Amino acid sequence: QNLQSPYEALGGAKEIEALVDTFYSYVSQHPDLIPIFPSDLTETARKQKQFLTQYFGGPPLYTSEHGHPMLRARHLPFTITPKRRDAWLSCMHHALDDRGIEGPLRDFIWDRLRLTAEHMTNSPDEMS
Ligand code: HEM
């Protein structure tokens, strides 16, 4: 049995760590995201590393510490509009570029994140 998980194909803990840190460096500078994220992203990044580890087939780090992810429920306190969803995805897109994650692995990861981001959207864009 030599099927690799996406987590292993990425390069395991080291790459998840680098990807998530790169991602939050973009989040911390994005005008649409700054209003809903804490200014200190240390704990947010730690939880996201745990979550993405298990989401991509690594050890269940998030669930061991926090229980069932219930991601949509955990996002309900925040107003997530289509504009913020796209901002989140653009930060992730840049992070995947910076980390040189390409090809079928990137396509797989991107599809999963895009669908989950869609699922987190809980509010319409403001009228203007
Ligand atoms: C937490 C925003 C999509 C995974 C959070 C927090 C915010 C947020 C504001 C709370 C940060 C904190 O207080 O520390 C967003 C926005 C998204 C989005 C605007 C755009 C659609 C996603 C997606 C995933 C995800 C697609 C997973 C693939 C998480 C996790 C946490 C989190 C694991 C930590 C939950 C906890 O407190 O245990 N997100 N998020 N988010 N987000 Fe998102």
Q: What is the CATH number of the domain that holds 69?
A: 1.10.490.10
Confidence band (pLDDT; 50, 70, 90) for 126? confident
Has residue 128 been placed in a domain? Answer: no
Q: Helices H, strands E: what count in the chain? A: 7, 0
Q: What does the pLDDT average to over 116-123?
A: 98
Has residue 127 been placed in a domain? Answer: no
Q: What does the pLDDT average to over 105-127?
A: 96
Number of C-alpha atoms within 13 angstroms, CB side, residue 88?
Answer: 20
Which residues have CB under 6 Å of ligand 1? 36-38, 43-44, 47-48, 51, 66, 71, 74-75, 78, 80, 84-85, 88, 113, 116-117, 120-121
Q: Which domain holds residue 44?
A: 6-120
Mean pLDDT over all residues of the chain? 97
Two tokens, residue 3: 């099927």
CA distances from 11 to 19, 85, 86, 103, 124 (A): 11, 27, 27, 15, 37
- ipTM for the predicted complex comes to 0.97
pLDDT tens-digit map of 17-74: 999 999 999 999 999 999 999 999 999 999 999 999 999 999 999 999 999 999 999 9
